Amino acid sequence: MEKRMVAVLVVTLFLFGFLNFGFVTYVGVPFSPVIITGFAVNDTGIVQLFIGDMRTVTIHSPENTTYDFNKSDPYIIALNVSADFSSDEWRYSLYDLEHDVYVETNILFVPNSSITAVRWGNLLTVSAHETDGEWWNASVIFFVNVSNSAPLLCNISDPILVCEGTSLDYGFNATDVDEDDLVGSISPSNPFYLASNGRVVNMSFFSVISGALGKGDVGNHSESISVLDPFDEVDSKDTTIDVIEINNVPALEDIGAQTVWLVGDDSTFYRVVDVVDVEDGSAPDGNLSFNLTWAGNEDLFDIGATNGTMNYTPVVGHEGSVYSLLVCVEDNALGSTHENISLCAPRGGDKESACDSFTLTVTDENRAPVVVNWTPLSSVFSVAGMVNVGFYAEVYDADGTIPDINWFVDGVLREHNEDISTDTFVHNFGCENGGAHWVEVVTTDGLLDDSQRWDISVSEVECSDPSESGGGAVGGGGYCIENWFCDDWEVCQNVKRSFDVGILSVEDYALAQDVCLQNEEADDRFCGFQLTKCYDLNACNRSDPILERPIERRFCYFTENPSCFDGFTNCHHGECELLVDCGGPCKPCATCSDGIQNQGEGGVDCGGPCPYVCEPAVPFALLSSVLIVLAVVLTLVIIFVLWRLFLLGKKQEDEEVAVDGK
């Protein structure tokens, strides 16, 4: 038995040695025995097969380095390669690492030629075909560097026209051959601001925007629009934004259902129509014209033609009736209109009017209107946020009046209705607006009313997108999302002095000192802060905005008496400098579009930091011009001399003829 075990062991060792030798020789890795234990065994490894000889392709040029080029130069780089085998065909592919795209694929070439690279990162792959064999390849990454160029603004209209009562949204773009992210600005700001709309390759998109423009914004606004790249290269354009004045429609109140008693209290209907006109004021100012129309031509009373006053005391015989009336108000035309007023159609400079219908009930026994039917039937229920909730109400007045129907959400009037007996109302409480809420419908005849209220528990739903927030979509309407923009920063104030006079709190002073210390401005003489004011151009007027108000304070390097000659980029005189001592309140910054040879340009707006290459000077151009002028003068002289000789010869001929005639 022992001899048998020894024999098995010897055979096993022989087989293992033979297999291990074979694997090492032909596969390249040793063979390891696996012991069977009765359990599943998982093992991983790398198997390398070396079949035949390896071939090598070598790229001598380009190298893994950076190549510098002038802006006007083509990016031509020598393509020097070799192989340690006989090759009958060469190909290359070039990949643009900056834009993740192939610019050349499998291009035939001969060694020791050249390629045209792309700016920034290049991945070059060279492939060589072995005669009667396979393809072998090699790769190299290299970088093409070109000096930075200034951005350029596209053509911007001058003037930019916009109508009063609307919001400006004027789009334009700027190009930058370096494909930098540009920062835009407009100076001065308020009521106009600059919005960035992103970039596609070398083109950045912007908009000049505003909130609703009012009467105080009418007129011409001189603005400077600028774009700045990360290396403080800039381009600017001056333009005028002309806000065209319109005649606004008078804002007339909803009078609604009215009731007057035949005798006793409330037996006189007296009302001055509540109307406001931007140009002509209110009813008591006497600049507006009023008229009153009775649907049944009853004409029981009239309205003051210039003051909008209605004064009526009913008499016996008027009771028990419901009268329908229409009151209208008309304003005056503008004294003068803009030449482009037609752009503001249908609004213009002509007279505008507004009307409102209402009912007047005369009674000797007024009864209150009632809400007779409503849904939901339950006055207490729960609902999830972001779910539309529908309400319905039917009203009735025993006196024949058609009462008003008003809908309130949490005590705020959301919808007003006249001359209808039924109405539906839809409301969505929005996301992140959970808790206890209530909706109420109120019907009124002007004196008496009735109501129905629903108490609603709203479960909060998290906003997945800011545009989903709200808390007030009435009748299926949309939500208001804040659109924040800020004025230019105010002049930099000294932190220490502001703290000493009580402008800054202890906490703010400590924070300011810490920030200044981080900015290496530990000296109190230079530690400053400045303020701005930010506005929501959409005027959502939320106490708890969905998009937070921008921070209206920042820290700055304080200088005494900031000016356009102090060597710092700062704010003063209501505007902020764009670069050191230029732009904003100072002289314009040098650009590649100002028509001046400056900022190291090789010519006017070319060369240097500009993307345009200066045209090469033509040799002997001045001499050629002089020669042309001399040639023209000489030609004229020769013509003159020939003409004089012709006249002299003709004179002599005439004299000879005269002598022969005698």
* Residues 294-337 pLDDT 10s: 999 999 999 999 999 999 999 998 988 899 999 999 999 999 99
Mean pLDDT, range 470-489, rounded to an integer: 67
Q: And the tokens for 328?
A: 């209208």
Please tell me the distance from the alpha carbon of residue 447 to that of residue 259, in angstroms, as a whole number.
6
pLDDT of 617 > 80? The answer is no
Q: Is the pLDDT of residue 20 over 70?
A: no
Q: 498-517 burial by CB neighbour count: b if 16+ within 10 A, else e? A: bbeeeebeeeebebbbeebe
User: What pLDDT is stored for residue 507 in this prediction?
Assistant: 86
Provide CATH 2.60.40.10 ranges for the chain: 57-146, 370-474
pLDDT band at 376 (very low <50, low <70, confident <90, very high): very high
Better-predicted residue by pLDDT, 432 or 634: 634
Q: d(Cα 117, Cα 102) in Å, to the nearest integer?
A: 11
438 by DSSP, 3-state: which?
strand
Lowest mean pLDDT among 37-51, 155-169, 170-184, 624-638: 37-51
CA atoms within 13 A on the CB side of 210: 24
Q: Which two tokens stand for residue 447?
A: 């004196």
Average pLDDT over every residue of 152-165: 95
- pLDDT: is 252 or 471 the higher one? 252
Q: Is the pLDDT of residue 429 over 70?
A: yes
Q: Which CATH class is domain 57-146?
A: mainly beta
Could you tell me the pLDDT band of residue 385, with boundaries at 50, 70 and 90?
A: confident
Check whether 40 has a pLDDT greater than 50: no
pLDDT average, residue stretch 589-614: 92
pLDDT of 99 reads 94
Residue 463 neighbours by CB distance under 10 Å: 17
Q: What is the CATH number of domain 257-363?
A: 2.60.40.60
Is the CB of residue 206 less than 8 Å from the CB of residue 172?
Answer: yes
What is the arithmetic mean of pLDDT over 87-96? 96
Nearest to 446 by CA among 465, 467, 418: 418
pLDDT digits (tens, 9 = 90+) for 197-215: 999 999 999 999 999 999 9
Element (H, E) at 645: helix 621-661
Higher pLDDT, 503 or 222: 222
Which stretch of 216-230, 344-358, 541-555 has the lowest confidence by average pLDDT?
541-555
| For range 7-24, the mean pLDDT | 40
Mean predicted lDDT score pLDDT of the chain: 86
pLDDT at 662: 56
625 confidence band (pLDDT: 50, 70, 90): low
In angstroms, rounded to a whole number, what is the distance separating the alpha carbons of residues 335 and 345? 18
Homologous superfamily of domain range 370-474: Immunoglobulins (2.60.40.10)
Q: Where in the chain is the domain with CATH 2.60.40.60?
A: 257-363
Model confidence at 11, pLDDT cuts 50, 70, 90, reads very low
User: Quick one: what percent of the chain has pLDDT higher than 90?
Assistant: 68
More confident residue, 395 or 14: 395
pTM of the model: 0.73
Which of 34-38, 248-252, 452-456 shows the lowest mean pLDDT across its residues?
A: 34-38
